[in-house]
Amino acid sequence: MNDYNAISLWKDVTPELWNDWHWQIRNRLSSVEQLSQVINLEETEKHIIRDSLNTLRMAVTPYYASLMDQNDPEDPIRIRSVPTMMETMIMPEDMVDPLHEDIDSPAPGLTHRYPDRVLLLVTDQCGDYCRHCTRRRTVGETDRARTKEEIDLGIDYIRKTKGVRDVVISGGDPLTLETGRLEYIISALHSIDHVEMVRLGTAAPVTFPQRITEEFVEMLSKYSPIFLNTHFIHPKEITEEAKAALKLLANAGIVLGNQTPLLRGINDCPYIMKELVQQLTYNRVRPYYIYQCDLSQGISHFRTSVQEGIDISEFLQGHTSGLAIPQFMIDAPGGGGKIPVPRNLVGRDGRIVYVRNFEGDTFQYVEPENLMAPACPQACQICYQRVERGQDMPPVGLQKNFHRGVWQTINARPNP
């Protein structure tokens, strides 16, 4: 379990406080000074973090920070929540609102893109601000929930729009709302005849699993069917605390899924992805989607080629249970919606990938310009060990397609 008392900042924190999600949110690390009490930062890094913070605020829960390797800037936990200078780089293909969520919006925070389902953003607050956030144009802006009046406008729209049978509640992170506030929203939706199901999109099991209390799951279980999609991006996040949270939810009959973007330097490796989806499945979380990283401003360093996502999907196919295989999607820039790839990939022209959506319209995704292969220490550990144990063989295509240096590194290692 977590030895947070070893970190001087939290040496006097009792288990009661540590396990209280309100304490976790109140004590998020939001300045360089606080962060440097938990991980070792070089002076230059401190300046860089300060400079990057005007794009998207930083707020790391003590729990999530306690999972970080104190000395490793490549630690996936650290990359997820600590800004780097890369965020200040804006590419020509970057867009403020690539998914047109604000444009296709008939009520505050509500996006109605598909005929039968809507997205309702109830807050811009998150437990922990992911550096790869696609909604960084608004997320963290106020670090608050929407007002009841605004949320009511969204619910009114859903009530009078008979075609809506599925409501995705997201944010921000809706689980930063108090249980009573959330129950108000969920019960209002549940009472609408044509709304058949409610989904929650949340990273709480990842960054503040203390949020998943018995009281909370009891509330949710009254409004079945409830689906909850989590946002695990790396196997290192599946801790004892996270597993306990998932178990509470699954035991209460909440149907669990996971959505992860494909992120360069974090999970763009077939072995890491396989480890992630298998561990999720073991914890009763169905891997739902892998997304191609969106064209939001300042996240180009996280993007991979589209081919990498296709290669990873092909690798998973056959190498693990079908139940553990997520669908690879591109959320089309310009508001075309989610498009399955390679099924709906209709062409390529240099860095431009053409994809066709469910309405037959074609959209363009622009791949990143520089795809240098950075070193990938986590990947090597996982695949090196697995290959050593004879559990896996590299599929032939991957040996040459994968430019992450994974196989070269393995082959270059001396035999122990």
Ligand X SMILES: *Cc1c(COP(=O)(O)O)cnc(C)c1O
For residue 255, state whether it binds ligand X (rule: CB under 6 A). no
CA distance 302 to 12: 37
- Look at residues 73, 3, 67, 21 and name the one whose alpha carbon lies nearest to residue 42: 73
Report the nearest approach of ligand X to the CB of residue 378 (Å).
28
- 288 assigned to active site: no
CA distance 271 to 266: 11
Site for ligand X in 290-349 (CB under 6 A): 338
For residue 223, state whether it binds ligand X (rule: CB under 6 A). no
Q: Which member of 126, 376, 380, 383 is catalytic?
A: 126
Q: Which member of 75, 124, 130, 173 is catalytic?
A: 130
Q: Which member of 97, 331, 380, 404 is catalytic?
A: 331
- 380 assigned to active site: no
User: What one-letter code names the amino acid at 153?
Assistant: L
CA distance 260 to 203: 11
For residue 107, state whether it binds ligand X (rule: CB under 6 A). no
For residue 52, state whether it binds ligand X (rule: CB under 6 A). no
Q: Contact at 8 Å (CB) between 112 and 106?
A: yes
Closer Cβ to ligand X, 111 or 378, answer by number = 111
CA distance 134 to 131: 9
Report the nearest approach of ligand X to the CB of residue 133 (Å).
14
- Look at residues 155, 152, 151 and name the one whose alpha carbon lies nearest to residue 164: 155
Report the nearest approach of ligand X to the CB of residue 336 (Å).
11
For residue 243, state whether it binds ligand X (rule: CB under 6 A). no
- Look at residues 269, 402, 292, 300 and name the one whose alpha carbon lies nearest to residue 344: 292
CA distance 329 to 81: 24
CA distance 390 to 276: 19
- 117 assigned to active site: yes
- 392 assigned to active site: no
For residue 231, state whether it binds ligand X (rule: CB under 6 A). no
Identify which range of 110-118, 153-161, 210-218, 406-414 contacts ligand X by CB under 6 A.
110-118
CA distance 48 to 30: 14
The C-alpha angle 300, 304, 308, rounded to 5 degrees, equals 170
- 11 assigned to active site: no
CA distance 105 to 164: 14
- 133 assigned to active site: yes
- 126 assigned to active site: yes
Identify which range of 66-74, 109-117, 139-147, 292-300 contacts ligand X by CB under 6 A.
109-117
Identify which range of 15-23, 107-115, 305-313, 361-369 contacts ligand X by CB under 6 A.
107-115
Q: Contact at 8 Å (CB) between 135 and 294?
A: no
Using CB under 6 A, count the residues that bind ligand X. 8
Site for ligand X in 113-172 (CB under 6 A): 113-114, 117-119, 168
Q: Contact at 8 Å (CB) between 109 and 151?
A: yes
Identify which range of 111-119, 142-150, 274-282, 317-325 contacts ligand X by CB under 6 A.
111-119
Report the nearest approach of ligand X to the CB of residue 118 (Å).
6
Q: Which residues contact 130 (CB under 8 A, 6 or more apart)?
A: 80, 81, 203, 231
For residue 202, state whether it binds ligand X (rule: CB under 6 A). no
Positions annotated as catalytic residues are: 113-114, 117, 126, 130, 133, 135, 294, 331, 338
Residues in contact with ligand X by CB under 6 A are: 111, 113-114, 117-119, 168, 338
